[in-house]
Amino acid sequence: MNFLNLLSRMPSACAQGILWGLMALGVYITFRVLDIADLSVDGTFATGGAVTVMLIIAGFPAWLALLIAILAGIAAGLCTGLLHTKLGIPAILSGILTQFALYSVNLHIMGMKANQTASLKKYGMIFENGKGFLVSSRYIPAAIGVGFAIACIVIFILYRYFGTEQGSAIRATGSNAAMASAQGININNMKVLGLSISNGIVALSGGLMTQFQGTADVNIGRGAIVIGLASIIIGEVFCDIFFRKGANFAVRMTFVIFGGVLYYVAMTVILWLKMDPNDLKLFTAIIVAIFLAVPYLKNQAKTSFGRAAKMAANGKGEK
Amino acid sequence: MLKVRNISKTFNPGTINEKKAIDGLNLSLKEGDFVTVIGGNGAGKSSLLNAVAGVWPVDSGSIELAGEDITGLPEYKRAKLIGRVFQDPMMGTAPDMWIEENLAIAMRRGEKRTLKWMVTKQDRELYRERLSELGLGLEDRLQVKVGLLSGGQRQALTLLMATLKSPKLLLLDEHTAALDPATAAKVLELSDSVVERNNLTTLMITHNMTDAIRHGNRLIMMNAGHIILDIEGEEKRHLTKKELLDKFAEVAGHQEETDAVLLS
Ligand SMILES: Nc1ncnc2c1ncn2[C@@H]1O[C@H](COP(=O)(O)OP(=O)(O)OP(=O)(O)O)[C@@H](O)[C@H]1O
Ligand SMILES: [Mg+2]
């Protein structure tokens, strides 16, 4: 357990944190903007990876493979959205159904194998030959740089988009659906649109992550939604510390990426402490549950029946 | 302007919760009519407004607005013709968005939402001007989240949003019921002036008989999904609260009788 060993692992944690943070950004769009908990992302993340690796193996440039992976993610989001809005299935269930179906779809994409590898040796890096990997665990500083640049581009595009008439209509739908309808917004279309955008970003993240690792795995997305929520919550806590409530949308999205990095740093520390990696999911779930509960408990502390009873018993209530 | 022909709506048909909310209702409004709607709880007042706004489709009958048959249009497509203010001050605005963003959404009511930037400089000037007419100091708080405003402020903002782009029909459903008396009076006064200035055709539900008499040029009373009283013009101006209450009691008493018959 030496400290230098921990330090040496940090750059890799940062790189992975940024790439997963991108995934969290996708979750942010549904969970915070649209106010829907979309569970399709576990499947979409793997889809992004599967499409990317198979296309690279088929000879596509890695960047083009990524763009097509985004389209695949959008299609998955579309499915969830249509299940929810056209067939009236609750959002959570729609997401679970898509996620479930995607497991088979992903296996098909990967030629019925649970994982597929594209070797860095064979395809090289993009700065070597113009069509190789964008990120790789062999070039961690470059991976951090590229991941950061892509995150900035995505945040910029989302920031602009959600300031347009259409983007604002999505926000209004998430904020108050009755108001949106009364103002002539087709809320069903907006939900489908938001879910598609979200899953497109998640697939992009999945595609980058498989390039980083050099393999696509059908199970890579398992629990992605929870990691996404953890990143969002960690990011929001720090955002509130630095900016109070006054942060604009772009800053809040940047903090989501930052939350992803912190999450990975924390996980790396836990592993360095020689805890059983099998317990990581338990830790993550507990942390997410605590942070999701905090706003509720804070409110309860101010106004609860228990408190009211105590106040009454102490005679303070009469003053 | 508005022609409602023989519409009916039954909720939960075929179950023990079956409820005929509107029962063969006819109503015709001329352009510029300001109609107050009264009636007991469950009389079908909100249902009438919801039917016109397209919250759900009617079972039978037709609705025509500004020469267009809107019976088959969903709520979001009717919105280009209709401005609404709800009873619940929370319902008419998006709390997570700024005042100017809410107004910008209302500014494009019924239009296609494009990829153009939503709040432009010249829009902002217009918003400031219109907000200052409310006299609530909101014109200096364009970039404040609406969720931080009081119920009265939100209701005044909703009224502004409903009329920012002049609608063919304005629907007010007990829009001052949740406000304190002073704020309610203020919002009602604002409603009056905006209706008058834009010559808006308006349906306003209220439980306050005095308000129902004092505002508008026509008054309808509803009971059991029908219109049972329709008074306008000169006659309405001379209507007294007592007459109205008597009429109301007559209907209510009649209902009690039928209840008694059913129970015996
Ligand atoms: N969406 C709905 N689903 C089922 N029943 C409904 C629905 N909307 C209204 N109703 C029923 O229809 C009847 C008429 O309701 P409505 O809301 O129109 O009355 P109202 O005249 O507005 O009464 P209030 O003065 O209490 O607001 C009521 O019995 C109500 O329970
Ligand atoms: Mg009502």
DSSP-derived secondary structure for B13-48: TTSTT-EEEEEEEEEEE-TT-EEEEEE-TTSSHHHH
Asked whether residue A317 carries a pLDDT value surpassing 50, the answer given is no
Asked whether residue B262 carries a pLDDT value surpassing 80, the answer given is no
Cα-atom radius of gyration of chain B, to the nearest Å?
19
pLDDT tens-place string over residues A233-245: 999 989 988 987 7
**Which CATH superfamily hosts domain B2-252?**
P-loop containing nucleotide triphosphate hydrolases (3.40.50.300)
| One-letter amino acid of B205 | I
Instruction: Report whether A181 contacts A187 (CB < 8 A).
Output: yes
Q: Is residue A302 part of a domain?
A: no
Cα–Cα distance for residue pair B9/A188, rounded to 1 Å: 24
Of B75, B76, B104, the CB nearest to A168: B104
Return the percentage of chain A with pLDDT > 90, whole number: 74
Asked whether residue A187 carries a pLDDT value surpassing 60, the answer given is yes
Cα–Cα distance for residue pair B175/B191, rounded to 1 Å: 10
Ramachandran bin of B135, using left for φ above 0, alpha for ψ from -120 to 50, beta for the remaining angles: left
pLDDT tens-place string over residues A50-60: 999 999 999 99
Q: Is residue A84 part of a domain?
A: yes
Asked whether residue A174 carries a pLDDT value surpassing 90, the answer given is yes
Asked whether residue A319 carries a pLDDT value surpassing 50, the answer given is no
Give this complex's ipTM.
Answer: 0.89
Size of interface A-B (CB pairs under 8 A): 85
Return the percentage of chain A with pLDDT > 70, whole number: 98
pLDDT tens-place string over residues B17-54: 999 999 999 999 999 999 999 988 889 999 999 999 99
State which of B11, B16, B84 you would mutate to test the pocket of ligand 1, scoring each by most atoms of that ligand within 8 A of its C-beta: B11
Instruction: Write out the two tokens for B48.
Output: 């009438």
Give, in order, the Cα–Cα distances in Å from A237 to each of A241, A243, A252, A255, B70: 6, 10, 10, 9, 48
Q: Is residue A295 part of a domain?
A: no
Distance B70 CA to ligand 1 centre (A): 22
Q: B61 burial class (0-12, 13-18, 19+ CB within 10 angstroms)?
A: middle
Cα-atom radius of gyration of chain A, to the nearest Å?
21
With contacts defined as CB-CB under 8 Å, which chain B residues touch A174?
Answer: 96
Angle at CA of residue A112, ends A106 and A114, nearest 5°: 70
Confidence of residue B257 (pLDDT cuts 50, 70, 90): low
Chain A nearest CA to B169, separation (Å)? 13
pLDDT at B126: 94
pLDDT at A35: 94
Q: Is residue A107 part of a domain?
A: yes
Q: Is residue A279 part of a domain?
A: no
The predicted model gives A102-111 an average pLDDT of: 96
- Residue A73 domain boundaries: 10-220
pLDDT at B263: 46
Distance A239 CA to ligand 2 centre (A): 42
Confidence of residue A185 (pLDDT cuts 50, 70, 90): very high
Cα–Cα distance for residue pair B55/A192, rounded to 1 Å: 20
The predicted model gives B198-216 an average pLDDT of: 92
Q: Pairing state of beta strands B82-85 and B201-205? A: unpaired
Ramachandran bin of A229, using left for φ above 0, alpha for ψ from -120 to 50, beta for the remaining angles: alpha
Asked whether residue B159 carries a pLDDT value surpassing 50, the answer given is yes
Instruction: Write out the two tokens for A61.
Output: 């440039």
Indicate the helix (H) or strand (E) that contains B221.
Answer: strand B218-223
State which of B9, B25, B46, B203 you would mutate to test the pocket of ligand 1, scoring each by most atoms of that ligand within 8 A of its C-beta: B46
Confidence of residue B244 (pLDDT cuts 50, 70, 90): confident
Q: Which residues between 165 and 204 in chain A have a beta carbon less than 8 angstroms from any beta carbon of chain B?
A: 165-169, 171-172, 174-176, 178-187
pLDDT at A316: 54
pLDDT at A285: 87
Residue nearest to atom 2 of ligand 1 (CA): B11
The predicted model gives B101-123 an average pLDDT of: 92
The predicted model gives A280-306 an average pLDDT of: 81
| One-letter amino acid of B212 | A
Q: What contacts A109, CB < 8 A, 6 or more positions away?
A: A47, A50, A51, A54
Q: Is residue A48 part of a domain?
A: yes
Q: Which residues between 59 and 78 in chain B have a beta carbon less than 8 angstroms from any beta carbon of chain A?
A: 75-77
pLDDT at B253: 65
Confidence of residue B60 (pLDDT cuts 50, 70, 90): very high
State how many domains chain A has.
1
Q: Is residue A147 part of a domain?
A: yes
Q: Pairing state of beta strands B201-205 and A215-217? A: unpaired
CB neighbours of residue B220 within 10 Å: 21
The predicted model gives A191-214 an average pLDDT of: 97
3-state secondary structure of B112: coil
Distance B46 CA to ligand 2 centre (A): 4
Q: What contacts A97, CB < 8 A, 6 or more positions away?
A: A80, A83, A89
pLDDT tens-place string over residues A19-40: 999 999 999 999 999 999 999 9
With contacts defined as CB-CB under 8 Å, which chain A residues touch B161?
Answer: 183
Indicate the helix (H) or strand (E) that contains A115.
Answer: strand A115-117
* Whether A248 contacts chain B with CB within 8 A: no
Residues with CB under 6 A from ligand 1: B 11-12, 19, 21, 39, 41-47
Asked whether residue A250 carries a pLDDT value surpassing 60, the answer given is yes
Question: Where is pLDDT greater, at B111 or A84?
Answer: A84
State the number of CA atoms in the 13 A half-sphere of B225 facing the CB. Answer: 14
Instruction: Write out the two tokens for A44.
Output: 């979409």
With contacts defined as CB-CB under 8 Å, which chain B residues touch A184?
Answer: 76-77, 79-80, 108-111
Give, in order, the Cα–Cα distances in Å from A296 to each of A36, A285, A291, A305, B195: 18, 17, 10, 14, 43
| One-letter amino acid of A315 | G
Q: Is residue A126 part of a domain?
A: yes
Asked whether residue B180 carries a pLDDT value surpassing 60, the answer given is yes
| One-letter amino acid of A74 | I
Mean pLDDT, rounded, of chain A: 92
pLDDT at B237: 84
Cα–Cα distance for residue pair A290/A38, rounded to 1 Å: 20
